[in-house]
Amino acid sequence: MDLRNRTTLVTGGAGLIGSFLVDRLLAAGARVIVADDFSKGRRAHLAHCAGRIEIREGNLEEPAAMAAALADAEVIFHLASRAYGVGFSAGNHLAILEHNEKITTNLISVLRARPVGHLLITSSSCVYRDDGPDTLDERPLFDGEPEKVNWGYGWAKRLMEQKCMLLARETGMPLTIVRPFNIYGERYAWLGNASQAIPMQVKKVLDGDDPVVIWGSGSQRRNYLHAIDCADAMAGLVEAGFTGAVNIGTEDTVTVRELVETICRVAGRAPRLVLDTTKPEGRTIKSADSTLLRRAYPGFRRTITLEDGLRRMLGWHRAEFARP
């Protein structure tokens, strides 16, 4: 699909991945609409696009707001949801599920009446069970429970996938389902104790915490991908006409302790590191089999290394916490 002059909608377009996706779509020549309620996304993330995008502000949990957001769209990239770190998820699984289900219901209601040329929905690696293989391929979802530390979010994304597959089957609308793995970047909106791992650890190190506390054993391994590369993969998959479900991530991993050690080295800090094994840490190893991604979108590249991405996160800390 050639996106030039296509009217594309990005729900959650002021967020971490969404704002970089807006940049990627503008570079492809698309006409871009952003739907966001700015509960997590920031207008500042889109300031450099002023005059080149249309912003439709509204809470997509409301049917009327969803209908207004989707009006006239030819291609939809659906990213809007509320994802938090594991510290928030504990005790809030039902609330997370309910929020995402409301948005999914409204999305399907509008698209059932007016299908679009292509729909991409953003699922999550949280849909996979904890006792699966260390490197995850695009396996069936309804075999066991989703990731336990993100149980409500994982179920919400499983249900969204299934409902949108039924919608696509009945309407004939092309559907791409992406399952990103541990995306990070410098357009992250700080959420306090509900924040995700990399911004949480960057803040601890740059705030001068000593010791820096690492949740869990520190030996849990993760694959991290910068939001710029995730956004490029999303757009590239639609441009390639791919339909189906695909992971967005790579096979390489680092331990959480190695991650924090790298943050310290890049920041020029040397705090003592302490492990808190009473805190949740999730599965032991979490990485993505990128075979299908690279076949579906041959242009996929990891352009930002983890170390370069962490240097960008140091700039994020300065910008985020220097604000009055």
What pLDDT does 154 receive? 95
pLDDT tops 70 at residue 323 = no
Radius of gyration of the chain (CA): 19
Using CB atoms within 10 A of its CB, is residue 48 exposed (0-12), middle (13-18) or buried (19+)?
Answer: exposed
Mean pLDDT across the chain: 95
What domains are defined for the chain?
7-188+224-251+287-303 (3.40.50.720)
What pLDDT does 282 receive? 83
Taking residues 297-309, report their average pLDDT: 97
Taking residues 169-192, report their average pLDDT: 96
Highest mean predicted confidence (pLDDT) among 76-80, 94-98, 150-154, 277-281: 76-80
Q: Rounded to an integer, what distance in angstroms lies between the CA atom of residue 197 and that of residue 187?
A: 14
What pLDDT does 85 receive? 66
Q: Rounded to an integer, what distance in angstroms lies between the CA atom of residue 3 and that of residue 77?
A: 12
Distances (CA, A) of 175 to 166, 167, 278, 305: 10, 9, 41, 30
pLDDT tops 60 at residue 297 = yes
What pLDDT does 8 receive? 98
Model-level pTM greater than 0.85?
A: yes
Give the residue with greater pLDDT, 265 vs 86: 265
